Structure 1
């Protein structure tokens, strides 16, 4: 770049010219000096203006960023700032779980972990002996070997009680240290254990530990429960704690009385699908969750949830679906006479009834008296394709999308080749297996007016408006038939008649499959699917007993009418007042005694 042209202060040509004209040559120098100063001034002004412009742009950008951030904060929801515990990134918070009335089912308890710095122990042998005396499952020799391994840090306990903490403190060892953290607490012990599931410690630091759900709703809603943005908002379930406790108490007594290997029950709202109670026995205390079985039959573990993991043949409870489809499709009416002459032979197999009901029964009596032959005749009219489609629309051929991770394991089992023989046996609940939860949902659909209901553990704002499966007229007929099963002397569930409460339902007794093949001759799965109040059911209750057996008048009884039915009746008698259902058409004094005994 060339140098700018400079103006000489005293140019010789102009000076000579000025002298000839008689002018002062010094004026030329002053003029040139003035021009030079003006050029320098203009250059400096331009430079200053550029710098001011750049500074103005920077200030504008900074204030704009501040203004934008303030507007975002002003329009967003207020939230408490999250603070890490002692600099740890571990999320140690976990929301409570409460029942439909806000009663606590699971919460957190502030406690301490116990760890050791072996290099800081004054007397490692005494410390090992002292810890072994405090904690029964610790061995002093094993601890001493660990202390002498050269490690500078080791965990002793993820959580300890205040009493244990004081005993450890009294040992006086500076190398035994405590780390604060929260642990999961289930204040009701084993009540609703299978629903809640349980939790364990995940990632741990000295001053914090994350809590992870391992089963039940704790695992299903793990992300939501650990979300810091919940701001302490608990997870509200549809369960009722008092009803759950009553159901478990009656079920445990019934299991003992009926000499059953296991028992389970599902109580749900027939309109909203809300599960009010879900129980499985034997159970466990989630505060001390046992380890899963590593071998053998998993159903023998107390961790096994019979209500949603147990896939069983549910026997004659399926007859309701066969009758419902035949009525809905106009193949019969409730008074149509059906041939029940037995045995009914099909593809080399004989279908028989438990009793001889004579040559003909009405459709109404086929269900009330539980005729296998009559139900199979109805299934012949329906056919395999239509039967499979109907059961599929009821949700009986797929796992239920339920609020527990275990529900995914409860996948129904049915024949891959759904032929005529399968159609007939499936009509009365043999050759097809499902869970109690499937059965409860299907019965709710049958009696609530005919719209499909999906079970849920979350509170609902109102009735579910699912797909219509049957008409309201068909649903009304089914309610009358279920009521007759309990009310009539010929019904298979007359032991479920409760003073003041109209109960309807259907029994089912299915031979238990033998793992070696075939079925046991003296072991059954006994089920009673009940609805109440029968004229306009609000609730569905399904009770199942595994291998029940009771002696009546010197004779061994295993069928549902003698085992599951009386247990379910006692459950209804206990929980109906808790659900706000007052006894009807009963002496006031008797009603008061019934209500008082249920408290």
Structure 2
């Protein structure tokens, strides 16, 4: 900027020549300079005011737009910016193998209160007590007036209850939307599904988490947002499950049993088509666990997986199969069955002190369920090889199945394996396992000698598990088991047209004071069908059953578990698509004619 001098020399000299006052020139130039400075200052101020106005306009426009947006949208609960703070409420459905819903989600509302906004807390407490009987009006009024700013009242409400609360009309009562887990079939497959509850909760959403069963075992899969739209497809068949539970429940009632369990499994894929445990519960209203007493008395107890029992004579076929697999015997080999048999200070007896000896074929050892014959075969096998065979069948480890309860059900096996243990375990005493363990072991016999892993997930692919016995041994074992049903201890389980094969097991329950209780038994029938080409295994277990239709009470599996299993097969086989094989009646020689 060029600065104009206040007393320019040329003009001063010219003014002096003309006789003018040079100070006038200086005052004029000073005035002009001040006016120029004021003009520049005014221009800068105007520019600043313009930018400031534009800034205020932009800020207030943004705030106004944001307020309008918030007013036009649903209220959203503020969330923390910390990782993991978001509540994931979406949970995938669970279906059976045919796509029928077993577990899904339902939109509902929670009820909470902001006491500071209430008009009349006393009236609100009294009205809430009329809607929800479990609410104490005095205690509720005290909580509404103790100074707190927030109070949960109900996590879940029915639409009718919500309407009645709405009619109270107090501004301090508020509703929060959320999803809850719904099991539309009630108690059906309750022990498989387990149940769900709320985890992290907010006023507008709640985290649904599994609490038991497959809901908890596969909780991460069910809560995965990427798979929320893809249902978890189980191997269960809803129709089969309903039939099995109905028959099992009827049998449990008629036979005065304390509990019951049933497992129906595909012998090649390991898929569980039905898994039932009674008494059951409704996962929509899951009861609390027992805090004292026997956990097995709780309806939450899954007898099919968690129940670890001595399974009695159902183990005899394993002893015989092991001996045949080692080449020690064949079905026709005659063994010593002379009873009773002394071994040191122990006596091995038959049921009702019978004696099937002195000799009995291996096949008849199974058909007649001879303890002595089985013991002598086990001694031929030896302790080490017997223990190894039981371990190969899975009787030393928990079953690998998609239930959170399964890992805790470890079989009870002897710590030492002397000869007397070899004898007693050969017919199912001194070793305890679950019905699921038994189903897996019988599936290996049924499918030709390959161990399968049980699964509750639908896949339909035959498993290529480890071979535990030769195909010839497995086939011979199936023929023996068929003989048990045809003319052995399980004749009441013979279903015309379906060639049932299986083995009974009656095991006295250990007494709490030591020894065994003769009047309390666990009865099991492990079966497979059809015997000519086994496709399915069915294990039925009854806890403390007694059949009272005769003159004396009967507690053996042949009178209790077997007829229940037979009725299940009679109902289930057609549902499984099995066509009955009807054998023609024998031709009467007196009336037969020929051309």
TM-score range, shorter-chain basis?
Answer: 0.7 to 0.9
Q: Secondary structure at the match of 1:561?
A: helix
Partner of 1:528: 525
Partner of 2:254: 257
Pairing partner for 1:130 from 101, 121, 127: 127
- The whole-number CA distance in structure 2 between the counterparts of 1:546 and 1:587 is 39
1:227 aligns with 2:224: yes
Q: Does the aligned pair in 1 maintain the 2:271–2:460 contact within 8 Å?
A: no
Alignment of 1:451-462 (within 5 A): 451-462=450-461
1:183 aligns with 2:180: yes
Closer, same or farther: CA 245–586 of 1 in aligned 2, 3 Å: farther
Q: Secondary structure at the match of 2:539?
A: strand
Deviations 1:189-224 (A, max 9, x none): 000000000000000001010000000000000011
Closer, same or farther: CA 85–562 of 1 in aligned 2, 3 Å: farther
Partner of 1:61: none
Partner of 2:383: 384
Q: Secondary structure at the match of 2:207?
A: strand
Partner of 1:367: 366
- The whole-number CA distance in structure 2 between the counterparts of 1:162 and 1:571 is 40
The Cα shift of 1:552 comes to 3.8
Alignment of 1:32-181 (within 5 A): 86=77, 88=79, 89-181=86-178
1:495 aligns with 2:503: no
The Cα shift of 1:459 comes to 1.6
Partner of 2:414: 415
- The whole-number CA distance in structure 2 between the counterparts of 1:517 and 1:306 is 23
The Cα shift of 1:84 comes to 12
Deviations 1:438-483 (A, max 9, x none): 0000000012110111111112242111001111111110111111
Partner of 2:200: 203
Q: Does the aligned pair in 2 maintain the 1:85–1:208 contact within 8 Å?
A: no
Closer, same or farther: CA 197–84 of 1 in aligned 2, 3 Å: farther
Q: Secondary structure at the match of 1:537?
A: coil
Partner of 1:434: 433
- The whole-number CA distance in structure 1 between the counterparts of 2:511 and 2:110 is 48
Closer, same or farther: CA 84–329 of 1 in aligned 2, 3 Å: farther
- The whole-number CA distance in structure 2 between the counterparts of 1:154 and 1:112 is 15
Pairing partner for 1:343 from 336, 340, 355: 340
- The whole-number CA distance in structure 2 between the counterparts of 1:393 and 1:267 is 22
Closer, same or farther: CA 84–258 of 1 in aligned 2, 3 Å: farther
- The whole-number CA distance in structure 1 between the counterparts of 2:357 and 2:288 is 54
Number of aligned positions between the proteins? 504
- The whole-number CA distance in structure 2 between the counterparts of 1:158 and 1:224 is 25
Partner of 2:238: 241
Q: Please list every run of 5 or more consecutive structure 1 residues that lacks an aligned counterpart in the other structure.
A: 1-82, 589-599
Partner of 2:10: none
Partner of 2:393: 394
Q: Does the aligned pair in 2 maintain the 1:401–1:408 contact within 8 Å?
A: yes
- The whole-number CA distance in structure 2 between the counterparts of 1:461 and 1:533 is 19
The Cα shift of 1:553 comes to 2.5
The Cα shift of 1:358 comes to 2.8
Pairing partner for 1:585 from 578, 582, 594: 582
Q: Does the aligned pair in 2 maintain the 1:84–1:90 contact within 8 Å?
A: no
- The whole-number CA distance in structure 2 between the counterparts of 1:213 and 1:231 is 15
The Cα shift of 1:86 comes to 5.0
1:295 aligns with 2:321: no
Q: Does the aligned pair in 1 maintain the 2:485–2:492 contact within 8 Å?
A: yes
- The whole-number CA distance in structure 2 between the counterparts of 1:250 and 1:85 is 50
Partner of 1:41: none
- The whole-number CA distance in structure 2 between the counterparts of 1:454 and 1:388 is 20
Q: Secondary structure at the match of 1:149?
A: coil
Q: Please list every run of 5 or more consecutive structure 2 residues that lacks an aligned counterpart in the other structure.
A: 1-73, 80-85, 586-595
- The whole-number CA distance in structure 1 between the counterparts of 2:127 and 2:359 is 80
1:403 aligns with 2:427: no
- The whole-number CA distance in structure 2 between the counterparts of 1:284 and 1:373 is 42
TM-score of the superposition, structure 1-length normalised? 0.83
Q: Secondary structure at the match of 2:400?
A: coil
Following TM superposition, the consecutive aligned residue runs of length 4 or more in structure 1 with deviations greater than 3 angstroms are: 83-88
Closer, same or farther: CA 87–461 of 1 in aligned 2, 3 Å: farther
Partner of 2:16: none
- The whole-number CA distance in structure 1 between the counterparts of 2:104 and 2:549 is 46
Deviations 1:386-429 (A, max 9, x none): 00101101111111111001001110001111111000000000
Q: Does the aligned pair in 2 maintain the 1:352–1:373 contact within 8 Å?
A: yes
Q: Secondary structure at the match of 2:503?
A: strand
Deviations 1:70-120 (A, max 9, x none): xxxxxxxxxxxxx99755510010000000000000000000000001111
Deviations 1:335-369 (A, max 9, x none): 01011111111131100111321311100000011
Partner of 2:544: 547
Q: Does the aligned pair in 2 maintain the 1:94–1:108 contact within 8 Å?
A: yes
The Cα shift of 1:231 comes to 4.3
